[in-house]
Amino acid sequence: MSKQTEISKSQRWVIKIGSALLTNEGRGLDKIAIENWVKQIVTLCQQGKEVVLVSSGAVAEGMNRLGWTERPATLHELQAAAAVGQMGMVQTYETCFKNYGIHTAQVLLTHDDAANRKRYLNARSALKTLINLKVIPVINENDTVATDEIRFGDNDTLAGLVSNLVEADVLVIMTDQQGLYERDPRLDSTAKLISQGYAGDPVLEAMAGSTGGRLGRGGMATKLRAARVSARSGTATWIVSGRIPDVLLKIANGGNLGTLLLPAQPPVEARKQWLGANQKMRGELYLDDGAVNVLRSSGKSLLAVGVKQIKGDFTRGDMVACLTLDGQEIARGIVNYSAEETTRIKGQASNRIAEILGYVDEPELIHRDNLILL
């Protein structure tokens, strides 16, 4: 059985519909296209699949309703447009699904909801309950309260997080291109489509451009990052064009279209998925080669002795990035000492911490249970 066929049979699907596709060339929502996708999703549900939707379109619909022709530059105007447009966006889904007797639920998340363990677990329980109730959650970023500090920015990253939250079997990212090409097809029309690969493969990630189209946000780069995040819950990611007629049904029938990105490793434990979902780092620890090898090969804790340099102003309990000396991020974790303390104990053996600081919180700088390799 091909991987396409195997995955097409899986049960829990997160489907992300991007701005590039949803908006009618920037003039509000493409309601006919939405009706069409809803019809396909209803068929998937009738086949026994569980579907969670991640949908963009709030800002575009808000601009349409407010009669704005240019995307606003200021954050408060974007927030206002999103508040207006979110109403129209959920109304459209609600109306379409109602025709088939299916309820929808609006779920708005910010990055803060992912970073805070309690809120992350709350979101997870609420989403799983909605799935069990056979309601279709329609998820978007809570743009109205999201400032740069706490925003995902693009909905691919949000969809990756949602895949982890609901432990999806497959994440389908619908966009305006057929899938991942060797190079951005808008810049090079001879670029070839990649039909299958592994999530997190650096060769594929290097192919993906980070600028979206006129309407979209993250381009292909955020879609590949979402695939890498999704793979932590064992979720396969499919990047396809939402313009292909019956695209979702074709996938469900084992069709070989778009780009399928498979998890290269078994799923990581749930707590580590949460660690990996946290995108905002409070600081950076630059590690010597020995520490990099230990982390990569044996999954042990990070000790202060392996840290060469630190950046950022973090406190105990914050999330920090661990990097090689040439700046490659290899892991993330929750740090046991503040930036000021870490500066004092870096390069030192753990048994010297008490002597240097006058106390010891933990012998490790980051305990292995609080560390996730990238």
Q: Does 19 bind ligand ADP (CB under 6 A)?
A: yes
Where does residue 125 rank: exposed (0-12), middle (13-18), buried (19+ CB within 10 A)? exposed
For tokens 């060797």, name the residue. 182
Annotated ligand binding at 233? The verdict is no
Per-residue CA distances from 360 to 22, 132, 354 (Å): 54, 46, 5
Binding partner at 219 among ligand VHF, ligand ADP, none, C-beta below 5 to 8 Å by kind: ligand ADP
Q: Does 185 bind ligand ADP (CB under 6 A)?
A: yes
Q: Which residues contact residue 200 at a Cβ distance below 8 angstroms, ignoring those fewer than 6 apart?
A: 227, 228, 231, 264
Binding partner at 177 among ligand VHF, ligand ADP, none, C-beta below 5 to 8 Å by kind: ligand ADP
Q: Does 18 bind ligand ADP (CB under 6 A)?
A: yes
Q: Does 283 bind ligand ADP (CB under 6 A)?
A: no
Q: 3-state DSSP: the chain helix, strand, coil percent, rounded to 5?
A: 40, 20, 40
Q: Does 49 bind ligand ADP (CB under 6 A)?
A: no
Binding partner at 208 among ligand ADP, ligand VHF, none, C-beta below 5 to 8 Å by kind: ligand ADP
Q: Would you say the C-alpha torsion 89, 11, 121, 298 has a positive or negative sign?
A: negative
- Residue 18: name the closest of 234, 177, 199 by CA: 177
Amino acid at 331: A
Phi/psi at 218 (nearest 5 deg)? -95, -10
- Residue 302: name the closest of 316, 282, 317, 288 by CA: 288
Nearest distance, CB of residue 223 and ligand VHF, angstroms? 8
Annotated ligand binding at 246? The verdict is no
Annotated ligand binding at 143? The verdict is yes
Annotated ligand binding at 16? The verdict is yes
Of residues 143-172, those binding ligand VHF (CB under 6 A):
143, 154-156
Q: Is the Cβ of residue 222 or residue 278 nearer to ligand VHF in the bound state?
A: 222
Cite the beta strand spans of 43-181 per DSSP E.
50-55, 104-109, 136-141, 170-175
Of residues 151-170, those binding ligand ADP (CB under 6 A):
156
Of residues 92-131, those binding ligand ADP (CB under 6 A):
none
Annotated ligand binding at 313? The verdict is no
Interface positions with ligand VHF (CB under 6 A): 18-19, 56-60, 82, 140-141, 143, 154-156, 212, 216-218
Q: Which residues are annotated as a binding site for substrate?
A: 56, 143, 155
Interface positions with ligand ADP (CB under 6 A): 18-21, 156, 175-177, 180-181, 183-186, 207-209, 212-213, 216-220
